[in-house]
Structure 1
Amino acid sequence: MLSTTDFRRGLKIEMDGVPYEIVDFLHVKPGKGGAFIRTKLKNMINGRVVENTFRSGEKMVKPDLESKDMQYLYRESEDFVFMDMESYEQMHAGAAQLGEKGGYLKDGMELKMLLYKGQPLDIDLPASVVLQVAETEPGVKGDTVSGATKPAQLETGITVNVPLFVNIGDRIKVDTRSGDYIGRE
């Protein structure tokens, strides 16, 4: 059990059978009456943010979250297929659950997956990944204005702005948190 005194950003709690992550909170102590905590909570299943108020000292349930080492295997229509590294069981995660993170997955990539009651919620990607440029316009010689970029589609389907000297087939390093080009490999 968690108390409202344990609240901090990033803490995960369960309300009405749904896991939430605390995005923001404010401890309010009015002149009259008991103290309370205003919170912004992110639903970890559908991503919606809700506001809720708790009385000071109120008890909350800690959600049944589990972090597992997984390996990304392949994409099957709208689902991403992962394999548990311990039991070798396969698990499907929908594109809607992973959001933009799905664009950085390469076959065979090892990562941590957050599970709630055995169902996938989220994945922890490495800070950067190396991907191959599948499609981009050729850089024109002499077109070297400092800092100029062009869009490039990578092997996984995501589009990243890259410098003009990057060509099709180049392997580039991309920041998974911001989606920015870091450098060539």
Structure 2
Amino acid sequence: MVEASGLKPGMVFVLEGELHSVASAGYHAGGGQQGSAVFARVKNLKTGHIRELRLHPGDRLEEVALDHKEMEYLYADGVAFYFMDPDTFEQISLPSATIGAYEKFLRSNMRIPVALYEGEPVTIAFPHAVELSVVSAPPGVHEHATSTFKTATLENGMEVLVPQFIKEGDTVRIEVASGKYVERVRRETRKP
């Protein structure tokens, strides 16, 4: 059990019989007739719906520990996403609502941790950032090389704003939550 005042992003707890993940939580001290409160945004791991909660700091919630198993992404059929355990070759599926915005970052044969609760898959533990190749980018404008951005298309079809020095074939790191450019990934070149 965890008190509402101890909620932190990423924690998973049971609310009304369903698993919820904390997206954000903040404590607000009360004044006058208003008591203090904890405001939390939580995501239902089954349906993907996001709710705003107002809790008393002393409210107790049943915290849940999820197991993580690395699985290989296979394909999607419009209703669900399918993953395979590389050790046992057992396949599991997660509903499309559970994957949500992460869909555009999944690639065939990609290995990704799947969160399990009592042996049942509930969500994926996507990394904070992913590396993608640039498939098209207009040439840079030299006089604005440091202060302006241009639009580049990535291998997954996403269009993102990148600095002027990014060109086709470069690999860039993209923040998953926001879909924004983070940095160019430099590959070490070794001379024989």
- Does 2:50 correspond to 1:48? yes
Who is 1:96 aligned against?
97
Distance 1:150 1:30 in 2: 48
**How big is the alpha-carbon RMSD for the aligned residues of Structure 1 and Structure 2?**
3.3
Q: Please, what TM-score do these two structures have when normalized by structure 2?
A: 0.70
Contact 1:4 1:37 in 2 (8 A): no
Structure 2 gaps, min length 5:
188-192
Opposite residue 6 of structure 2, the aligned amino acid is F
Q: List aligned pairs for 1:7-22, cutoff 5 A.
A: 7-10=6-9, 11-22=11-22
Contact 2:70 2:112 in 1 (8 A): yes
- Using the TM superposition, give the Cα deviation of residue 159 of structure 1 relative to its aligned residue in structure 2, in angstroms: 1.6
Distance 1:71 1:126 in 2: 18
- Using the TM superposition, give the Cα deviation of residue 4 of structure 1 relative to its aligned residue in structure 2, in angstroms: 2.0
Who is 1:74 aligned against?
75
Distance 1:126 1:86 in 2: 25
- Does 2:174 correspond to 1:172? no
Distance 1:123 1:66 in 2: 10
Contact 2:12 2:65 in 1 (8 A): no
SS in 2 for 1:174: strand
How has the CA–CA distance of structure 1 residues 135 and 75 changed in structure 2, closer, same or farther, with 3 Å as cutoff? farther
Distance 2:66 2:182 in 1: 33
SS in 1 for 2:157: coil
Contact 1:18 1:43 in 2 (8 A): no
Q: Please, what TM-score do these two structures have when normalized by structure 1?
A: 0.72
- Does 2:115 correspond to 1:114? yes
Structure 1 gaps, min length 5:
none
- Using the TM superposition, give the Cα deviation of residue 139 of structure 1 relative to its aligned residue in structure 2, in angstroms: 1.1
Contact 1:19 1:44 in 2 (8 A): yes
- Using the TM superposition, give the Cα deviation of residue 103 of structure 1 relative to its aligned residue in structure 2, in angstroms: 2.0
Contact 1:153 1:160 in 2 (8 A): yes
